[in-house]
Amino acid sequence: MSNYLNNLRVLIGTRKVIHPAARIIIENDRGEILFIRRTDDDRWGLPAGGLEEGEDIESCIRREVQEETGLELHNLQVIGISSRPDRESVIYPNGDKVQYFVVEFHCDQWSGAPRPDGIEVADARFLPPEIAQDLPHHEWSTFESLIYFQTKGQVRVR
């Protein structure tokens, strides 16, 4: 959890907080997607994270991907904005409630090789896009945003 969110939790306890965040689809030249296996629930997912105090959203996703996978991102593209409470609300095992406001990105150029941080991420590797079918719905819908963006040339807002 971020320092910013930790500081809020001291004041508000487990009450729901609306938190800006970013999520990204990183695609290699073979059409494979970078998935991460989280240490908290042992599930595959997309790199993502919450905005820190004093940070803009692009810096947020660059930092999160660097911390979690070691990759340095180039050529970022915003593909969607997801703010639906029914999809972006989470209750964590400790009772903390969060409703995320997520800016979704796509990237097909980076430097470095995927390496998990061992703290939040147990594994990071490029896998076939079909893995996305097993993601939680809010993460899976990022692929819908990518298809919408590639088809219509517009950012998908929902």
For 121-145, what is each residue's pLDDT tens digit? Answer: 999 999 999 988 888 888 988 999 9
* Measured distance CA(107)–CA(34) in Å, rounded: 10
Contact 153, 63 (CB under 8 A): no
Domain count, the chain: 1
For 91-114, what is each residue's pLDDT tens digit? Answer: 988 899 999 999 999 999 999 999
State phi, psi for 52 to the nearest 5 degrees.
Answer: -95, 155
129 lies in which domain range? 3-157
Q: What per-residue confidence (pLDDT) applies to 130?
A: 92
Q: Kindly report the CATH number assigned to the domain that includes residue 88.
A: 3.90.79.10
* Measured distance CA(64)–CA(43) in Å, rounded: 18
